[in-house]
Structure 1
Amino acid sequence: MENLLQEIRQCTICEEHLALGPRPVVSGSRNSKIIIIGQAPGTKVHKSGIPWDDASGRQIRKWLNVTEDEFYSQNLFAIVPMGFCYPGKGKSGDLPPRKECAPQWHNSLLDKMPNVELILLIGMYAQNYYLKGKAKRTLTETVDNYPEYLPKYFVLPHPSPRNRFWLTKNPWFEQTVIPELQKRVKNLIAI
């Protein structure tokens, strides 16, 4: 597992497309119980090299109801973004994750984590890739129908502060989905 992680961290497959250059961010172990599959690192994470080391990370930890130590325990959580490097700035936020990463690395990573009991699919890129034709027409519909994807996948919107409007417009998410997420996570990490 460690060799594979090192190989990913040295990846330069899409270097020519990365304004800030490659700096793949990934973590996990053979013992990881939960995999978090998000989009791609932002500029702050690109600089620090620490996954979810930003406002989105604080929000996801709050949703999961875990401490920072628990979140960064590779025996509990593996962090495997759709794109391992910061993709660059777009018109309204960051560019989408590079398409090379997931097909190149995800299967190899998941194969080396036999103890995974839950995969969190955060945002449409992860949901569309993993759910294939089972994702609904919109992210809202997919998240609203989260029980359809259990027990393997738990679907979530991105925890970015930019999604404040979505959270305000969809109060059911924090009222019904988050408690179910927290219950499942608590049960898995308590073992």
Structure 2
Amino acid sequence: MSSTSSEDRLDRLRAEIAACRICRDAPLRGIEDRLPHEPRPVAVLSSRARVLIAGQAPGLRVHESGLPFDDASGDRLRQWLQVDRPAFYDRDRFAIVPMGFCFPGYDAKGSDLPPRRECAPVWRDRVLSAMPQIELVLAVGGYAQAWHMGVMRRENMTETVRAWTDSLAAPGKPLILPLPHPSWRNTGWIKRHPWFEEELLPELRRRIKMLVF
């Protein structure tokens, strides 16, 4: 497939995603489960990027700006990757596709709800098949790890990330590197697991430098 036809295919897919209203119009569990606001799908598809960032779901700030990881979590993720904002938002360098495209709202405690369950079964396989050039998937958080890693996923997020060398050694394409969510709520987790910064981050940065720059 030529680069022009690949980009045309992605343009059509982008338009379909932008128009998606399944979480508002066809909820899983009835009217009380509908998205509490107008959907605003956020995803960056690419015909050239070799790295896919598979996140969780947009937060409120991302919902308002339309830019993925346009928040404190994004600042930390860019620090992990050692990339600046222009490089991060260059779709020739990174594809960014969360498990749920829309901000899911808040729970009773004021925390972000999980990604909408309608989204991934409808869109994820189509999006991934439209980007066959992807060589590395950064599976950020438990929801992305559950979808992308299958039997490689361990009993919890910590053990999944701890086994990152096994993930990178698994056969097939793309390679998958699991990461914790870069939320500042995970600062304690990072302090309790120094191997993350001492061992995983240098390898992450090495691969980003190789694939992105």
For the aligned pair, the TM-score class normalised by the smaller chain equals: over 0.9
> For the Cα contact (< 8 Å) 1:24–1:84, is it kept in 2?
yes
Q: CA deviation at 1:134?
A: 2.1
Spell out the pairing of 1:120-131 with structure 2 (5 A cutoff). 120-131=138-149
After superposition, give the CA deviation of every residue in 1:88-143 in whole Å (9 maximum; x if it has no partner): 11236211001111111111111111221100100000101111232111111110
Is 1:31 aligned to 2:48, yes or no? Answer: yes
Separation (CA, whole Å) in 2 of partners of 1:62 and 1:6: 31
Q: Residue 100 of structure 2 aligns to a residue in which SS?
A: coil
Separation (CA, whole Å) in 1 of partners of 2:141 and 2:48: 25
TM-score by length of 1: 0.96
Spell out the pairing of 1:41-190 with structure 2 (5 A cutoff). 41-90=58-107, 91=109, 93-150=111-168, 152-190=175-213
Separation (CA, whole Å) in 1 of partners of 2:44 and 2:16: 12
Separation (CA, whole Å) in 1 of partners of 2:154 and 2:179: 13
Instruction: State the identity %.
Output: 47
* Matched length: 190
Spell out the pairing of 1:10-29 with structure 2 (5 A cutoff). 10-15=19-24, 17-29=34-46
134-143 or 90-99, larger mean C-alpha shift: 90-99
* 1:158–1:145 CA distance, 2 compared to 1 (3 A): same
> Given residue 164 of structure 1, which amino acid in structure 2 is its aligned partner?
T
Which residue in the other structure is 2:18 paired with?
9
After superposition, give the CA deviation of every residue in 1:35-55 in whole Å (9 maximum; x if it has no partner): 101100000000111111000
Separation (CA, whole Å) in 2 of partners of 1:80 and 1:102: 10
94-103 or 142-151, larger mean C-alpha shift: 142-151
Unaligned runs of 5+ in 1: none
> Given residue 29 of structure 1, which amino acid in structure 2 is its aligned partner?
S
After the TM superposition, which parts of structure 1 deviate over 3 Å for at least 4 consecutive aligned residues?
none
> For the Cα contact (< 8 Å) 1:28–1:75, is it kept in 2?
no
> Given residue 20 of structure 1, which amino acid in structure 2 is its aligned partner?
H
> For the Cα contact (< 8 Å) 1:31–1:114, is it kept in 2?
no
Q: Residue 37 of structure 2 aligns to a residue in which SS?
A: coil
> For the Cα contact (< 8 Å) 1:146–1:155, is it kept in 2?
yes
Q: Residue 99 of structure 2 aligns to a residue in which SS?
A: coil
